[in-house]
Amino acid sequence: MNIKFSSSVILVKNIVTSREFYEELLGQTVMMDNGPNVIYEGGFSIWQRDAALGIIFEDTPKSNIENALPAFELYFESSSLEQAWKRCSINPERVIHTIMEHPWGQQGFRIYDPDGFIIEVSEPLPVMVQRFIKEGYSMAQIAEKSGMPESLVCFMAEQSD
């Protein structure tokens, strides 16, 4: 048996508000619109929470449902991180942190979506590799800082040329 990851689905309180956030602010493109469930080209979906819970937890008491819902982060990449930050930071209440360099060297920021899910937008790893090369890091130093194998760092450096 082969089980293959296909998509992430987040349960949202208000499909209209969430669509505005993902489509207008983050620029995601709708692949399929099923009303209370919207599938985006990037490989994730949003699903109206009350509709989803009614299907998923059909016969489960409501008190057990609320405690079973996990929190998680959706990860996006942008080669234009500064532009993405300017666009996504217009609502200060949603900001978790501004652009920062993570311990592995990648730069990114985090915000909340309308339902409180964490959204990370970071530079693609090949962009990080190129940034370190411009700063004078060797392939070995980039590998050590990023935790990636040196062969992968070299591959990313060659791809960006």
pLDDT at 155 over 70: yes
- Give me the pLDDT at residue 3, please: 58
- Give me the pLDDT at residue 64, please: 59
pLDDT at 67 over 60: no
- Give me the pLDDT at residue 73, please: 77
The encoded tokens of residue 125 equal 């790893």
Q: What is the dihedral of CA 121, 127, 128, 132, to 10 degrees?
A: -150
**Coil, strand, or helix at residue 15?**
helix
- Give me the pLDDT at residue 7, please: 81
Q: What is the mean pLDDT of residues 100-106?
A: 91
Q: What is the mean pLDDT of residues 62-83?
A: 75
- Give me the pLDDT at residue 2, please: 65
Q: What confidence category does residue 161 fall into, taking pLDDT thresholds of 50, 70 and 90? A: low
pLDDT at 68 over 80: no
pLDDT at 66 over 70: no
Cβ neighbours of residue 118 closer than 8 Å, sequence gap 6 or more = 71, 72, 73, 74, 96, 110, 111, 112
Query: Which amino acid is located at 157 in the chain?
Result: A
pLDDT tens string 9-62: 888 999 999 999 999 999 999 999 989 999 999 888 999 988 887 777 776 666
Give the CA distances from residue 17 to residues 13, 65, 115, 135, in Å, rounded to whole numbers and listed in that order.
Answer: 9, 23, 9, 41
pLDDT tens string 76-94: 999 999 999 999 999 999 9
Per-range mean pLDDT, top range of 26-30, 45-49, 112-116, 157-161: 26-30
Quickly list H helices, the chain.
15-19, 49-56, 62-68, 81-88, 125-134, 139-146, 150-159
Best CA proximity match to 99, nearest among 116, 130, 114, 78: 78
